[in-house]
Amino acid sequence: MPADLRHAAERAKGFMPPSEGQALFETACAYGSLGPICEIGTYCGKSAIYLGAGARHTSSVVFTVDHHRGSEEIQPGWAHHDPTLMDPRFGKMDSLPFFRTAIASAGLEEEVIAVVGRSETVARYWNIPLAMLFIDGGHSEGPVTSDYEGWAPHVMVDGALVFHDIYPDPARGGQAPFRVYGRALASGDFKEVAAEGSLRVLQRVASPGPSA
């Protein structure tokens, strides 16, 4: 990954360790030539920079979806809450200005396209086949389930479905993403092709024809 983009990603606020970011970049490079990339859970744009670097490399784009009001697990009072993200005018979090700064600083405004809204609502209207889908939005059971159900059907054959925060050991982290990842594998629609830290890369297999 180009050093300037890697530095921009490392400077941005977020929850993506460098080794997993590198894997995200490599995955975007591997799949981006098939079509657009979509991320669920933008936050301050850290992972979007890794994806955007891969999109640039393959002449693709990244749509990144977030209401920018924070997941339940990053609200005031929770361990990962960042008080500098509070907007006192509305008494709500707002990560959108941080995202804009991060993407502009990285020089990726042509490649990374913000979609601001609830993931469930955007999914209901979406009909663009995806070369790569990265699920990193709300990490509790309801949101991660609806992200899978609403977005995974848009992953094209041979495209990638990528999950973050997969912790087989409950002592390491929440289990909802791990359960949904298990469901994706059990569906028979996806096979696992790579793993790095808590990142898991699945690929859609062709659905069996009538004679199979």
Which residues of this protein are in contact with ligand SAH, per CB under 6 A? 14-16, 41-43, 46-47, 65-71, 95, 118-120, 136-138, 143
Choice from 20, 39, 136, 147 touching Mg ion (CB under 5 A): 136
Name every residue whose Cβ is closer than 8 Å to that of residue 84 and which is 6 or more positions away in sequence: none
The minimum distance between CB 43 and ligand SAH, in angstroms, equals 4
Check if the beta carbon of residue 40 is closer than 8 Å to that of residue 15. no
Angle between helices 18-31 and 3-11 (to 10 degrees): 130
C-beta closer to ligand SAH: residue 78 or 109: 78
The minimum distance between CB 164 and Mg ion, in angstroms, equals 4
Q: Does 39 interact with Mg ion (rule: CB under 5 A)? A: no
The Cα 54–Cα 134 span in angstroms is: 13
C-beta closer to ligand SAH: residue 18 or 188: 18
C-alpha distances (whole Å) from 193 to each of 23, 25, 27, 105, 205 are: 12, 15, 10, 32, 11
The CB-nearest residue to ligand SAH is 14
The minimum distance between CB 16 and ligand SAH, in angstroms, equals 4
Choice from 46, 164, 200, 204 touching Mg ion (CB under 5 A): 164
Chain position carrying tokens 């500098």: 84
Q: Does 15 interact with Mg ion (rule: CB under 5 A)? A: yes
Beta strands 37-40 and 130-135, pairing class? parallel
Q: Which does 165 bind (CB under 5 to 8 A by kind): Mg ion, ligand SAH, none?
A: Mg ion
Q: Which of 80, 139, 154, 164 is catalytic?
A: 139
DSSP secondary structure code for residue 207 in this structure? P
Q: Which does 7 bind (CB under 5 to 8 A by kind): Mg ion, ligand SAH, none?
A: none
Chain position carrying tokens 């490649």: 111
**Site size with Mg ion, rule: CB under 5 A:** 4
Q: Does 20 interact with Mg ion (rule: CB under 5 A)? A: no
Does the annotation count 164 as an active-site position?
A: no
Terminal-residue alpha carbon distance, the chain: 41
Check if the beta carbon of residue 41 is closer than 8 Å to that of residue 136. yes
Residues that bind Mg ion (CB under 5 A): 15, 136, 164-165
Catalytic residues: 139
